[in-house]
Structure 1
Amino acid sequence: MEHEELLKQGETLAEEGLLEEALTRFEQALQNAPEDPEVLEAVGRALLNLGRLEEAEACYLDALELDPGWAAPRMGLALVSIRRDEPFKTVHHLERAVEADPEYPEAYVELGRYYGMMGEPALAKATFERWTKNHPDDADVLINAGLTSFDAADYAQALVFFEEALSVADDPEQVSGARTFRANSLDMLGRYKEAVAAYGEVIRESSDWWEAHANLGICQARNEHYEEAEATFRRGLAACPGSPEIRDELAAHLLAEKRNLPEALSLAEEAVALGRDEIRHLQTLAEVRLASSDDEGAEETFKEVLALDPENPDAHLELGIICDRRGESAEAEEHFMESLKSDPSNPRALYSYASIYYASGDLETAEEILVRAVSSDSSYSPALSALASIRARRGEYAASLNYLERAVEAGERDIQHFEAAIEFIPLRQDPRFRTLLLKMNGEGS
């Protein structure tokens, strides 16, 4: 079989996600045409997608040696460098790709995105504009520029790019995407009415575009229009009946509103069934199961999350809390530590980790961890309350009341705990303590 046919078969297999089979075809093509840079680049691409970075790099270098002016192998080397977290090499290869082929938009897009990921929004903007200055009608690059600015939280600049994309887009998918992202930018800029109108425009033009329904509902909920948000999610589900994303958003909304948990559970299960490998859907299902007092089911689902994402901090945190509730301190501590590796400033994770030491009587370690939690979020009331308890157990009542006052200001309302806790018995007649109890009960100001 000619190497061109083998190459074509490999590309088809790669598009279907059959990477090993695609690599076999490419390697067969390479045997027939060992000096063909196109075949070498295809082999390198397959190896890269399989995570075999050293072999991929060697193929790309061989392809470049045969065709030094071809941008594709240079792009491949950049992607290898990204996987290895080598920023200077990444930028070097992407800039060389632009030099090799100034009319290759993918190089500008990857370089702009990478600058954005590095926290260099000005360089990202300049990179995209190097292309759009000469190609002002390239809606895809303008959309990518807007998304990069959006991810960098530069919503005003993102809005400019999306509006420019809308002015030149002719493909219906481009138009829907640019309109949706424009609405997202308006939402994040606090221009609520304009955002709602923009989402409505998208939905009128493309009622089956699930993302517009989902983002409109999220926008409404964020702005405390909860009934409108639920109605939007339900309309979205009617318009996009096969969408796991809408089911997930409606389930999460019902969970947040603490309403109709059976329906939320059903929706979350359907979302997982339709999009099983989507971590977000599994997380929502696990959270609904937790709220439904199904610890066993929640534990099983969080473990499925970790099977897809072994370092997921939220799954480790929830599994730690479940283990701690069962008295499995060693397992709980392991999960809390794994959660904090990925998210070291999470106050809830720090508080949960500290609770193990508090329960064992190691107040010094517990206090050290709780101080970290409060440093991360000065209004995290559970950590402030726990610090108040530790100081009270040491007899440091003035410091305890200071922490308790901060906790009440931050929203602490568990009056029963502070009335019953042994460490607060000496404070029961203290006027300041009694005033704080009244505030917890909504009777003081």
Structure 2
Amino acid sequence: MKQIIVAGTGYVGLATGVSFATIGFKVTCVDIDESKINLLQKGICPIYEPGLQEALLESIMQERIEFTTNINQAYRKADVIFIAVGTPELPDGTANLTYLKEVAKDIAINASKDLVVVIKSTVPVGTNEVVKQILKEFAHPQLKIDVVSNPEFLREGSALHDIFHGDRIVIGADHPQSASYVSELYKSFNLPIFVTSVRSAEMIKYASNAFLATKISFINEISSICEAVGADVEQVAHGMGLDRRIGSQFLNAGIGFGGSCFPKDTSALVKSSALEGLELKLLKSVIDINDYQQLKLYELAKLYFGSLKDKQIAILGASFKPNTNDIRHAPSIALIKEFLKAGAIITVYDPIALPEVNREFGDSVKYSNDLYEAISNQDAALIVTEWNEIVQAELSQFETRMKQPLIFDGRNCFNLEEVQNTNIQYYSIGRKPVNVNLQIAQKL
């Protein structure tokens, strides 16, 4: 049986390793982070992802997966190595390939037999060739090491579902033998496999994320028009989505996208294109719209109150989306920073991500893992993440617990007719305000 090594135990690497172990492969996951490996060796998943903890424990019990910091030993026994290390955004918006290059060099130095290196990390076009050059420079000249691009298309919060029920598996390879080798690994997943050139595979990842980000910024632009002319963006989006050429996914108006993929990948595509002498005006606008949209609730609150100094504000939801503890580029972070600058007193509620928020803000904000406690005695509640606990909340609790029942809903969680039957002043995105002072509504 082929020995699969996964370099990197972050979100993509761990999900990849566990998924291959689940279908019966022997997998070794390697990482230089000793604390993370210690947790994994004990069967403790260091990231929050539905179903991953259970799948991890099952694979450990079946002795199909192991974790180590001994990269030398792991790479020596490898038949195939999946590189899934981070490529974080640099200050100039380009992708940081430092970790990827370090792994490539370590593989080359320690490889003891022919193998295939599969890059799952999201990388700019041409990166596979850089890795191939590193391998050629440092590996034994008699070894044959090929590089294959295999971008991931996982959604945080549903990674395991996407792995086993995805739309396609993209494999970019220069040699048919390597493409067939990696395709065979994925045979048991029973998903369509699309084989293309390496550079096209690299571009497919960036283009896919950029397109989805564009849909989000587009519907957010439309939501502003809807507010101005009195249309309802949800009805507009539904009517648009009925057109099969458009589709309904990613047409949910709100306060913008966040996370580790859309912001980073869209920015990286713009920056890498600039290096080629190209200006991506559309994607620049997508980023600008998103930056504006993330602060929309802050701007509404500022217009409503005038001064935000000493106002008690509840931020409901901190992760960039439900079912994850990831706060990277989350709208909540930008909002909290602005409210703190304005002198507001912030209480943050999130069922999972409070430890991450605490690492970002420390004692400068208050924390609550109880939704109704978080809104008690608050001047305003801002809905930032559409967790089920928030969507299913009792509106009567907002009426009775808050200083004044005032909600700025950045995710359009509540039915307007239901809110109409309460005393809650309610502002959402691209829909008419409910139970509001007309004079204030016109100002907003």
TM-score (norm 2): 0.30
Greater relative contact order (CA < 8 Å, ≥ 6 in sequence): 2
Which structure carries more helix by proportion? 1
